[in-house]
Amino acid sequence: MRWIVFAVLAAASLSAAAGTVDVNLSNDTVEGKYDTTFGAADLTFGGMYNRDQKNYALNAGLLAAGEGSAGNSRVEGGLGGKVYTVHIDGSSSDVVALALGGQLRWFPGSGSFAIGGYAFYSPKVVTFLDGKSFYDVGLRAEVEVFRNSFAYLGIRWTRAELDDGSQPYVDKGGFAGLRIIF
C-alpha cells in the first residue's frame, strides 16, 4: 500500500500549479500531502501508510484558508471538510468518513518558528461501511530552514470507531517531516 502515498506525491510533482508538498516519516509510517489553491480555498490530497499494522488512509479536502495576525504574530488557518477512505488491516475493516475540521499555524513574533495543529472529526451520521466515527488530530512544531522550506517534528492520532465497538488506531505517534512551498 506504500504505492498509494507515492502515487499522491507523483501526481503532485507533475502539476504545474503552485502548491505545497508535505512528507513525514516515522519508523512505521509514511505520509504525503499535496495542497494547492482553488479560488479562495485550499484543495488538499493526502495518503498515509503504516507498514507494521498494514493500515492506510487516503483523503481529499477543501478548506477555506487565510492569513491574519494576532498582535505581532502571523497566523495561518483554514476550516472545511475532508473525505477519508481508511483500511484497518487488523480487523479487515474499511471506513469512509466525511469529516469537518480545520488547521492552524501560529508564527510567534512573525518569525521562522511555528506551532501548528489540525483536527478533523466524522460522527456516526457521516461515517460509512464498517465505521461508526473517525478522527484525525495532530500537533507539530516547525522551523523555516530556507525560504519556503520547513522542517518539523510532530505527533498524530488517527483513529476509527468500528461497528463491532473496537476503536483501533490507523496510526499514532511521533514523526519528522519536510514541507516545501513552490
Do the Cβ atoms of 178 and 159 come closer than 8 Å? no
Report the pLDDT value the prediction gives residue 91, as an integer from 0 to 100: 81
Q: At 65, which CATH number?
A: 2.40.160
Report the pLDDT value the prediction gives residue 165, as an integer from 0 to 100: 92
| DSSP of 141-170 | EEEEEETTEEEEEEEEEEEEEETTS---EE
Report the distance separating Cα 89 and Cα 171, nearest Å: 12
pLDDT tens digit sequence for 109-154: 999 999 999 999 999 999 999 999 999 999 999 999 999 999 999 9
Residues of the chain with pLDDT under 70: 1-17
Sequence-separated (6 or more) residues with CB below 8 Å from residue 57: 47, 48, 84, 85, 86, 87, 136, 158, 170, 171
Report the distance separating Cα 56 and Cα 58, nearest Å: 7
| DSSP of 80-110 | EEEEEEEEEGGGTEEEEEEEEEEEEEEEGGG
Report the pLDDT value the prediction gives residue 70, as an integer from 0 to 100: 85
Q: What is the pTM of this model?
A: 0.88
Report the pLDDT value the prediction gives residue 5, as an integer from 0 to 100: 60
57: which 3 cell numbers?
488512509
Structural domain containing residue 157: 2-181
